Amino acid sequence: MSSKIAVVTGANKGIGFAIVRGLCKRFDGIVYLTSRDENRGAEAVAELEKEGLNPKYHQLDITEPKSVEVFRDYVKEKYGGIDVLVNNAAIAFKGNAPDPVAVQAEQTLFVNYFSLVSTCEILFPILRKGARVVNVSSSAGHLSNIPSKKLVARFQDPNLTIPELSELMNRYIEAAKQGTQATEWGNSSYAVSKVGVTALTKIQQRLLMDRDIKVNAVHPGYVNTDMSSHKGPLSIDEGAAAPLFLALDAPDSVRGEYVWYNKKIVSWSGEKPNF
């Protein structure tokens, strides 16, 4: 029997780093810390090794399909497949960023949505039967962040396909370029990208049911990281708690759900929780 394999993207710092730490302590198998920058990845591994933990490392840039393909081929040849995949890599522009809205829209959705789609297309074929996928979303990924009732209904369409969802994401980018996005989409490219992640999660679950693969989205909470400009009250280990719950502990019946940092399943289209 080959070793079980867990992979975390964007894991050299923040929540991804803490998820690797938690997996190293509890996962019955080999844990891969991956990052775009090899030096930062090596430093992160060294830090965990000081704690007596033993993650493996591989370079992985989700925005470069070739990088993902190299990683896929490496894992497939060495281990045969993946058992846990945590899609954590993402970006967020700061509130005072000088970049035009159109630039923020294009770059945010390219990394947070489109690169996630391509990464999953490349890695999903080597997921083993029974694998667990955790897509790190956000409270910003709740449908209440989209003002248009028509768009909300479209996102909830049980027959929505990934190409159709990607077309919706492109529509937002075009609206941002025209400066007409606010009425239908709101003013946050990050929110649109994470709504896309949550919607994608539900479609992916539908497509993977016959392989007994569990795919869930998670809001890890407002965490003290670079991404939150260190304003979040939660530690990175607290932010890792719900992703780790989905990766290791959630009942098999939890599939295609949107789970918050307190490990509670939240209605994606209902009222946004205040906990």
| Catalytic residue set | 190
Q: Provide the CB-side half-sphere exposure for 176 (13 A, CA).
A: 25
28 class by beta-carbon count within 10 Å (0-12 exposed, 13-18 middle, 19+ buried): exposed
| Pairing verdict, β 82-87 and 56-59 | unpaired
Residues sharing a CB contact under 8 Å with residue 271, sequence separation 6 or more, in sequence order: 144
Nearest 5°: phi and psi at 251? Answer: -55, 150
Strands (E), 60-176: 82-87, 127-136
Among 219, 233, 221, 232, residue whose Cα is nearest residue 266 = 219
